[in-house]
A and B are shown apart, each in its own frame.
Chain A
Amino acid sequence: MTDLAVGTELPPLEIEPISRRTLALFAGASGDHQPVHIDIDAAKARGRDDVFAHGMLSLAYLGRLLTNWVPQERIRSYRARFVAITPVHGKPTCTGRVTAIEAGMATVELTVTLADGTTTVRGEAVVDIRKEQL
């Protein structure tokens, strides 16, 4: 954290391909039981070929990118836009880059990208980097 500057990249977080098991467990763990994420019949009824991952699962992975980097209490805000769905078996990679530092707060641009290059989430977090807080 001492060498932090605009342009600093967070260590990327590579996630294993998302299995149906993970989607089932995440439904229970998160509280989002919507069938389109866990029941292929329901997904097909909505015109999808298959189930797809909860957006909040990708956000949870991005949260891990942040808490791997700083203690959680330093995260002041976090926002994200879902720009594409993550199909089952998708392999997300989370990345972050510092885009601004002002008054002891670093703004970090966040993305989740799949192995085929599709960006699924774009976000931003503001993290407290003041030394006296360390």
Chain B
Amino acid sequence: MYIDRDKALRLEIAPITMDIERGRLRFFAETIGLTDPIYSDVDAAKAAGHRDLPVPPTFLGNSLELEQPEPLSWLAALGVDLQSTTHGEQSFVYHTMAYAGDRLTFHRRIVDVYLKKNGALEFVVKRTDITRDDGEPVAEVLCAIGVKHPEVVA
């Protein structure tokens, strides 16, 4: 069964507010092999002109939202079988750098639903506008989630 596009575009998804912590950013940098000291050492970051440890380019992607309780409930609310999904596309437009110590809010909504492969694959595009707590826009993040419809022969 396909997603009701009109319902999806109207769906309200609760915003998420997160405090960005230095320890978490160090853990992320170490895990992905980001060894430039500006990403782990506050003095090095400040010497390079940053006000704290910078948030790496992809840290604000879809993953962070997934550690919330029932992270995909918005998708389930559209009738999607969460076992049938894949991550299709991801994009970022950056307005300003985010740093450790920032409190960021993720405003989420669905901006598109479309079919591919003669209906065997459906994409839901979620847009997340990330703002700092002083209202400054930080980034726009798009995430396209693919929903497989194996019952449809492509």
Chain A residues near B (Cβ < 8 Å) = 15, 22, 25-26, 28-34, 46, 54-57, 59-64, 66-67, 71-73, 75-82
Contacts and interface: CB of A to CB of B under 8 A. Distances in A.
Given A30-B28, A63-B58, 16 more contacts: A15-B33, A25-B27, A28-B31, A33-B67, A54-B63, A56-B62, A56-B90, A63-B57, A66-B57, A67-B36, A67-B56, A72-B56, A76-B94, A79-B89, A79-B91, A80-B90
Could you tell me the dominant secondary structure of chain B's interface residues?
A: mixed
Instruction: Classify the interface of chain A: helix, strand, loop or mixed.
Output: helix
Interface stretch (B6-14, B80-88, B127-135): B80-88
Contact of B87 (A15, A55, A60, A76): A55
B10 to A, nearest CB: 26
Interface of B: 24, 27-28, 30-34, 36, 48, 54, 56-59, 61-67, 83, 86-94, 97, 142
A120 B90 CA distance: 13
Contacts of A62: 58
B21 to A, nearest CB: 12
Contacts of A54: 63
Contacts of B48: 71
5 contacts: A32-B62, A54-B63, A55-B87, A60-B56, A63-B34
Contact of B66 (A34, A64, A71): A34
* Interface core residue of A30, A57, A66 (most chain B CB under 10 Å): A30
